[in-house]
Amino acid sequence: MKKKVLSMLLCGAMAVSMLAGCGGKDSGDNGGESESDKAYVQDKGTLVVGITNFEPMDYRDESGEWVGFDADLAKAFAESLGVEAEFVEIDWDNKIMELDGRTIDCVWNGMTLTEEVTSSMDCTDAYLTNAQVVVVPADVADQYQDEDSLAGLNFAAEAGSAGEAELEARELNVTPVTAQADALMEVAAGTSDAAVIDLLMAAAMIGEGTSYSDLTYTVHLNNEEYGVGFRQGSDLTAALNDFFAACYEDGTMQEIAETYGVQAALIAE
């Protein structure tokens, strides 16, 4: 399949250089703190990636495999380290705790580079642009075309997300839910008037030809950028930045982006 071919093509030279540079592993026990996050991941043989169900970044295909723009890149990066990518669905509101507790090794799921994130994690360079958008039923969309029109609406948003933060900053009514997909279900079921989710998710999951054909998005609340988060001081951050640079250079970043329809959001290297 195309996705598997892309994974095999990604940055072969980078894989060799990364593996060659990892001879000095920390010899401490696997449960303790390692001087090198890269060595820790290679010792245990897995890169555990914290995600939520978020199309087109991380979602399950018909066979149950995790796929998406972020998922495909994570698999290829893990392969370059000589390990397997393991995807773990997390409560987004607990992402920092999960990372610090080593339940996961990175947060790689269309993560907005907020002040909270960048102060608590070692983050990569931004690789995609995004925005937080208001989702409403299509038949009332003409009533909600600017921020002033949003007062009085009951919103659903993922707990701990940039969307929830934007609503709280505007003192709008918000009910936290477990995932962005749940926020959409709230609007579709009529239990919330509106939701705030990522623009890239809205473009993939609502409107004509989707499961949410009766929903649309209107107001853009902000503009933002995505990055990947590792533990503070992690040497995996620089390794992933180098990997991204190589994938931009050989064109595979663009190719994977086109597979999932996010090429317009790529930040040029």
Report the Cα–Cα distance between both ends of the chain, in Å, rounded. Answer: 27
Q: What is the largest CA-CA distance in the chain?
A: 62
The residue written with tokens 């000589």 in the block is: 82
The residue written with tokens 């930045």 in the block is: 241
Does the pTM surpass 0.75? The reply is: yes
> Which of 184, 201, 220 is the last residue before a domain boundary?
220
Expressed as residue numbers, the domain containing 58 is: 2-129+225-265
Query: What is the per-residue pLDDT across 194-233, written as a single tens digit (0 to 9) for each?
Result: 999 999 999 999 999 999 999 999 999 999 999 999 999 9
Q: How many CA atoms lie within 13 A of 127 on its CB side?
A: 27
Based on the fold, state whether residues 180 and 110 are members of the same structural domain: no
How many independent structural domains does the chain possess?
Answer: 2
Based on the fold, state whether residues 48 and 64 are members of the same structural domain: yes
What is residue 32's predicted lDDT score, i.e. its pLDDT?
Answer: 43
Tell me, what CATH number does 151's domain have?
3.40.190.10
* Ranges of the chain with pLDDT below 50: 1-34
Based on the fold, state whether residues 88 and 50 are members of the same structural domain: yes
Cα separation, 104 vs 107, in Å, equals 8
What is residue 35's predicted lDDT score, i.e. its pLDDT?
Answer: 80
Cα separation, 228 vs 180, in Å, equals 18
Query: What is the per-residue pLDDT across 8-32, written as a single tens digit (0 to 9) for each?
Result: 444 443 443 444 344 344 433 444 4
What is residue 268's predicted lDDT score, i.e. its pLDDT?
Answer: 80
The amino acid sitting at 23 is G
What is residue 234's predicted lDDT score, i.e. its pLDDT?
Answer: 97
Based on the fold, state whether residues 124 and 20 are members of the same structural domain: yes
Based on the fold, state whether residues 125 and 136 are members of the same structural domain: no
Based on the fold, state whether residues 95 and 140 are members of the same structural domain: no
Based on the fold, state whether residues 79 and 143 are members of the same structural domain: no
Based on the fold, state whether residues 65 and 110 are members of the same structural domain: yes
Based on the fold, state whether residues 11 and 113 are members of the same structural domain: yes
Q: Find residue 66's DSSP bridge partners.
A: 60
Based on the fold, state whether residues 110 and 138 are members of the same structural domain: no
Based on the fold, state whether residues 57 and 105 are members of the same structural domain: yes
Based on the fold, state whether residues 95 and 159 are members of the same structural domain: no
What is residue 17's predicted lDDT score, i.e. its pLDDT?
Answer: 42
